Structure 1
Amino acid sequence: MAEKKIDIFDTTLRDGEQVPGCKLNTEEKIEVALALEELGVDIIEAGFPISSPGDFASVEAISKVIKNATVCGLTRSVQKDIEVAAEALKHAVRPRIHTGIGSSDIHIKHKFNTTREAILERAAKATKLARNLVSDVEFFCEDAGRADNAFLARLVETVIAAGATVVNIPDTTGYCLPHQYGEKIAYLVNNVSNIDKAIISCHCHNDLGLATANSIAGIMNGARQIECTINGLGERAGNTSLEEVVMIIKKHHALGFYTNINTTQLNPLSRLVSDTMRMPVQPNKAIVGSNAFAHSSGIHQDGFLKEATTYEIMTPEEVGAETSKIVLTARSGRSALAYRFQKLGHQFNRNDIDTLYQQFLAVADTKKEVEDADLNILAQNYLHVAV
């Protein structure tokens, strides 16, 4: 059975930039956008044009330099928003307007103070307007994660009939469990009569740490686009992490999917986004964290040194990371110590290592990590005594 393509929609420059302190200027946005295109991202959400003159200028500038990826601008279901987005995107080779409105009763009642029927009318009107301005229109059903499925299906059917080419089913608050989100996508696939006329997209937030799992559940049930960010940046607890979903798809061939992402660019782009947005990546972050390929437990180190696949399901080179690291701590074993001594040019036999190991532990108990300088001192002192 042929693998199915999953489109990667990156919103680092829109949802990711909503993180406090992560505001970028136009030059920085262009740099990141070009790197995203080189990565192989299918759609780049460049910003929210009507939100500020600076955001309009950035979307316009990105539209001029991106040649292969679709460039997307976010709007509300408001005429002025949509017209301004179209103006900002007029230079794009592949422009997309991303418009939408709340779909849950919580949003309909408390955010919009309106009715379901009014939401359907407004959604259809906004979609038709956007489709008159560009050929590619994505509609987001905000808070779909908490929306009634029957009404959500009516909304999806309405906007597809009005011209939406992609329909975004956001778990805006990160509320859903994976099986719930997957069942929601499956419900739409099975109950929206014109669902074959559009792509279903997943846009999951990480409030409960389930954004990646929910996105994968979404594509397993019929979605064909994942909206995500580099390093999982985004509102509150963040969005689905691009590097995580891409590597899950790559490593789990049985899922039957593929992306166009050049995974060797994942770590370099992670560092670029981290540096540009001044947002450090946590060391234990999957795929791109500094400890993602570090081994400090003696049991793990011994297994890894015998055969890397005992503790690594991907190579550092596969995701553009530096080589795997053997980190020496008080939990490390003799094999790791011997390996690190050998890397430093010290050749010791088993008896030597047994003696040195006790001295190493004495040092390790006083430090979080034993460095090369510490090992060189141990080796020199041992050789001096041996002489």
Structure 2
Amino acid sequence: MSSRKYTKNYFIPPIVDMSWTRKEYPAKAPVWCSVDLRDGNQSLVIPMSIDEKIEFYKMLVKIGFKEIEVGFPAASETEYAFLRTLVEKDLIPDDVTVQVLTQSREHIIKRTFAALDGVKNAIVHVYNSTSVAQREQVFKKSREDIKKIAVDGAVMLKELTAEAGEKYRFEYSPESFTGTEVDYACEVCNAVLDIWQPNSDRKAIINLPSTVQMSMPHIYAAQIAYMSQNLSYRDNVVLSLHPHNDRGTGVADSEMGLLAGADRIEGTLFGNGERTGNADVVTIAMNMYALGVDPKLDFSNMPEIISMYENVTRMHVYERQPYSGSLVFAAFSGSHQDAIAKGMKWREEEKPEHWTVPYLLIDPKDIGREYDGDVIRINSQSGKGGVAYIMEQKYGLDMPKKMREDFGYCVKSVSDHKHKELLPDEIYNIFQEVYVNIENPLSLIDFKLNKTADGMRDGHLHLYVNGQEKVLPARGNGRLDAVSNALQEQLGIRYSNLIYSEHAMEIGSTSRAMAYIGIADEDDNTSWGAGMDTDIITASVKALLSAVNKMAKIKTIMVLK
């Protein structure tokens, strides 16, 4: 590899007002034009069928696109038939404009018009390449010759449109704009505009493609600024961008181009297009949304959009694709999970106006994603915060803080051993198996404790001990204290520092109660148990027995007095 092989092939614009650089973000959404059905489709290994294109088209309309490039009708029978199907099945709403691409050749334009017959709103898009490389290497023509091609095409399109009795809107692209001298590109576009004479009722579109990205985004934006400031009929011109992604900056080019004066973006849903693709409309629009700007596109059901896209294009939305990827909200790191869980808890308590949860740029639910399956994901890198969050949000289990740590290590160990992510139901099953209603070697049969005159509780504890039925006298200042005393005094079990909490089950059956107990043995090792029952006192007793059954020395110290 030798970098000396390369040099810049772009052109810095002449003097241009750069005050746009002080803007933070676009104040409003641009006009969006989807080119998925043309630019995106022609990049597929297996182009979409008519039925697949119709399915995609319907989704674009549902999302809210008001301008949709439906293809190059004169290029093939499939492209022609697709547009005719939209017309004949009345699939074009009155507020949607379809756009078609055509070369500036009479028979091709007439074939395009035939495909458009019956369309209420249409944009006819013509183009020719203007770059130095194309002029010198492909066409071997001068600047004047290339400009004449553009002008002749504009004249032909205007005349044939008038002849057809239509009022189609026109779009012109100096293809390979980024490799064209900027003042010359402006000269060509103004020559086209002089032919079309756009007005407020019939604005023209000047589309400036980065057919091949050649510069950093601020250079492309400066080129856009120059064009915006020097185009004729500017009030009646919609300045459009069509960024590709050769340098991986299609989104940045689009965002900076909008700041620099552009009014419109042509792109594809997930950036699909030839070579490295087009501008990713989902990312651009959602970036606006995350800054409080309504993009005027509805991505509230992102999973449905992705499913359709992957089905008809046979492409795959990358797991880390901004906003849309299956893992973009996922937190596996323990510290990230803990911060997210605490942020969500803070939102519940404080109810702030704006979204500020750590590590989450937007609320995943805004685009149809769920916290427990999409945000908090559990593997061997996870911590107690994420595990506890899933247990509380999905199953209504609010463990004591110290127990969360114990359970977190337990889950990490299982994930590490299995070398896999654990799903919420798997985590819940681990909790049930490790902590809940543990019945060996002690198993509860029943207990009866009556309140005495002195305020104490007195009665008996009926249970199995190593499979043998035992009835133990029990007395204490409360029912749980009485059971605990019976275990320690009658079975010789020693523990201290009893930690207790309980709650009604908030998710699932509201008739169940959950209790948690932690105890420390004589070596200060803490054991945790949980009890689940329809009665809160019974749940508490089961939790205590579960904790005792988990004590490391239980089998050796359990001796009847």
TM-score band, normalised by shorter chain: over 0.9
Describe how 1:238-317 pairs up with structure 2 within 5 A.
Answer: 238-253=277-292, 259-308=295-344, 309-317=357-365
Question: Structure 1 regions of 5+ residues with no counterpart?
Answer: none
Which of 355, 358, 369 is the equivalent residue of 2:406?
355
Counterpart in the other structure of 2:86: 62
**1:138 and 2:171 are equivalent in the alignment:** yes
Counterpart in the other structure of 2:62: 38
| 8 Å contact from structure 1 (residues 157, 192) kept in 2 | yes
Moved more, 373-382 or 31-40: 373-382
User: C-alpha separation between the residues in 2 aligned to 1:98 and 1:322?
Assistant: 41
| Partner secondary structure for residue 209 of structure 2 | strand
| 8 Å contact from structure 2 (residues 44, 313) kept in 1 | no
Deviation of the 1:4 alpha carbon: 4.5
Tell me the number of residue pairs that the alignment of Structure 1 and Structure 2 aligns.
383
| Partner secondary structure for residue 302 of structure 1 | helix
User: C-alpha separation between the residues in 1 aligned to 2:91 and 2:241?
Assistant: 27
The change in CA–CA distance for 1:131 and 1:31 in structure 2 (over 3 A counts) is farther
User: C-alpha separation between the residues in 1 aligned to 2:147 and 2:323?
Assistant: 41
Counterpart in the other structure of 2:457: none
C-alpha RMSD over aligned residues: 2.1
**1:14 and 2:53 are equivalent in the alignment:** no
| Aligned AA (1:381) | E
Moved more, 330-339 or 193-202: 193-202
| Aligned AA (1:181) | Y
| Partner secondary structure for residue 206 of structure 1 | coil
Larger radius of gyration: 2
User: C-alpha separation between the residues in 2 aligned to 1:210 and 1:74?
Assistant: 25
Deviation of the 1:93 alpha carbon: 1.6
| 8 Å contact from structure 2 (residues 104, 156) kept in 1 | no
Counterpart in the other structure of 1:380: 432
Q: Deviations over 1:278-330 (max 9, x none)?
A: 11110111111111222211121111111242222212232333444210122
Deviation of the 1:184 alpha carbon: 0.4
Question: Structure 2 regions of 5+ residues with no counterpart?
Answer: 1-25, 162-166, 199-203, 345-356, 439-545, 550-561
| Aligned AA (1:61) | T
Deviation of the 1:229 alpha carbon: 0.5
Per chain length, whose mean CA-contact separation is higher, i.e. which structure has more relative contact order (CA < 8 Å, sep 6+)? 1
Q: Which runs of 4+ in 1 moved over 6 A?
A: none
Counterpart in the other structure of 2:124: 97
Counterpart in the other structure of 2:536: none
The change in CA–CA distance for 1:259 and 1:94 in structure 2 (over 3 A counts) is farther
Counterpart in the other structure of 2:264: 225
| 8 Å contact from structure 1 (residues 296, 328) kept in 2 | yes
TM-score (normalised: structure 2): 0.65
Moved more, 233-242 or 84-93: 84-93
Q: Deviations over 1:56-97 (max 9, x none)?
A: 111222344111211011112322322222221122221111
| 8 Å contact from structure 1 (residues 104, 144) kept in 2 | yes
Deviation of the 1:5 alpha carbon: 4.8
| 8 Å contact from structure 1 (residues 60, 91) kept in 2 | no
The change in CA–CA distance for 1:79 and 1:116 in structure 2 (over 3 A counts) is farther
Q: Deviations over 1:118-164 (max 9, x none)?
A: 11111112123223424301111111111111111111111111227
Which of 126, 147, 159 is the equivalent residue of 2:192?
159
**1:333 and 2:383 are equivalent in the alignment:** yes
**1:187 and 2:223 are equivalent in the alignment:** no
Identity %: 26
Comparing both structures, which one devotes a greater share of its residues to strand? Answer: 2
| 8 Å contact from structure 1 (residues 171, 203) kept in 2 | yes
User: C-alpha separation between the residues in 1 aligned to 2:33 and 2:301?
Assistant: 16
Which of 214, 224, 227 is the equivalent residue of 1:175?
214
